[in-house]
Amino acid sequence: MTLLTTLFPLICYFAYNIVVPQVEKLRPSLSSIMNMQRRRWVANAALRESPFDAILSGNIMQSVSFLASTAVLMVLAVFAVFGQIPALMESLSSLSLDARYSITEVQLHLVVMLAMFVLAFFAFTLSLRQFNHFCIMLGTLDPSIPASEEEIDAITEMNILGARNFNSGIRAYYFSVSTVAWFVSEWATIVACLLTILVLAQREFLSSAHRTAASAAIVAARRQKDAKP
């Protein structure tokens, strides 16, 4: 039971990343709706000569870079805890509600926590790299020459890949909170994971941001249809 609850946040993280794309085939998520806006962004950027798009891209990359740096700090923090196992065990003896963990179990759980933050780090750094590629591809657009649909699609896909990995890193942060609940109770880990899944699902498919983005996409589609001769 202890091994299962230790690995449960990691299992939920991978399962969520696998299941959500399948659900998106039945109902568009906030991310899939925003992907349509990303294409509109690239299509409009192909017509502009101002540095506006470079500023937007820079702001996105700064956010991703900040979270990647934070993931590194969390990895170092977990490594530091490995050197304080006796003090941690003493604290857990008064904190834990229904279990007394062995040193091996605590060390294994710290490895799981470390894995969560390492996954977040790799997701954010990959996202940062892909957004960097996106900026380069966006910079190659020449406003004096109409961009082809294939070129716009390719640049948009690079932006989507960056956003997808950014979301993966954010999800790793969310599920890492569940690993902290394990120190209180094994059942607390399960409850925290399930609550995390519900929160993420609500934000992706049922939130006010989802409704707003869907409305904006519909309005944009109507405007584009009306603009056609």
Q: What is the pLDDT of residues 213-227, one digit of tens each?
A: 888 877 776 776 666
Determine the straight-line distance between the first and last CA of the chain, rounded to whole angstroms.
Answer: 65
Confidence of residue 94 (pLDDT cuts 50, 70, 90): low
Q: What percent of the chain has pLDDT over 70?
A: 93
Rounded distance between C-alpha atoms, residue 139 and residue 170, angstroms:
28
Condensed to tens digits (0 to 9), the pLDDT of residues 134-156 reads 999 888 888 888 888 899 999 99
Confidence of residue 171 (pLDDT cuts 50, 70, 90): very high
pLDDT of residue 182: 83
pLDDT of residue 227: 60
pLDDT of residue 228: 58
Retrieve residue 130's tokens: 């892909």
Q: Is 100 left (phi over 0), alpha (psi -120 to 50) or beta?
A: beta
Q: Phi then psi for 52, rounded to 5 degrees?
A: -55, -45
Rounded distance between C-alpha atoms, residue 62 and residue 54, angstroms:
12
pLDDT of residue 225: 65
**Of residues 160, 195, 152, 143, the one with CA closest to residue 24:** 160
**Of residues 4, 1, 8, the one with CA closest to residue 179:** 8
Q: 14: part of which helix (H) or strand (E)?
A: helix 2-24
**Angle between helix 103-139 and helix 52-82 axes, rounded to 10 deg:** 160
pLDDT of residue 173: 94
Residue with the bigger pLDDT between 40 and 86: it is: 40
Rounded distance between C-alpha atoms, residue 24 and residue 138, angstroms:
27
Average pLDDT over residues 168-188: 89
pLDDT of residue 160: 94
Q: Is the pTM of this model over 0.75?
A: yes
**CA dist list (Å): 228 to 85, 146, 221, 223:** 67, 17, 11, 9
Condensed to tens digits (0 to 9), the pLDDT of residues 98-118 reads 557 778 888 888 999 999 999
Confidence of residue 196 (pLDDT cuts 50, 70, 90): very high
Rounded distance between C-alpha atoms, residue 93 and residue 97, angstroms:
9
DSSP type of residue 27:
S
